[in-house]
Amino acid sequence: MKLNANQTICDGSCPVQRAAQVLDGKWTILVLRDLLGGKKRYSELQRSLTGISPRLLAARLKAMEHQGLVARTAFATVPPTTEYALTAQGHQIMPVVQAMAAYGQTLLQEDAKATRSVVQATSADGVTRVRGGRRVA
- pLDDT reported for residue 92: 94
99 and 72, same structural domain? no
* % pLDDT > 70, the chain: 77
The Cα 69–Cα 106 span in angstroms is 28
- Mean pLDDT of all residues in 108-120: 76
Q: 88, 108, 129 — which closes off a domain?
A: 88
Secondary structure (3-state) at 133: helix
**Whether residue 112 has pLDDT greater than 60:** yes
111 and 66, same structural domain? no
- pLDDT reported for residue 11: 72
Contacts of 20 (CB under 8 A, 6+ apart): none
Element (H, E) at 44: helix 42-48
109 and 61, same structural domain? no
102 and 35, same structural domain? no
Query: How many domains is the chain built from?
Result: 2
The band of 87, judged by pLDDT with boundaries at 50, 70 and 90, is very high
53 and 12, same structural domain? yes
98 and 81, same structural domain? no
- pLDDT reported for residue 54: 94
84 and 99, same structural domain? no
Q: pLDDT tens-digit profile of 50-74? A: 999 999 999 999 999 999 999 999 9
Q: What are phi and psi of 23, to 5 degrees?
A: -95, 10
Average pLDDT across the chain, whole number:
83
101 and 54, same structural domain? no
Domain span at residue 28 reads 1-88
123 and 77, same structural domain? no
As to burial, measured by CB atoms within 10 angstroms (0-12 exposed, 13-18 middle, 19+ buried), residue 132 is exposed
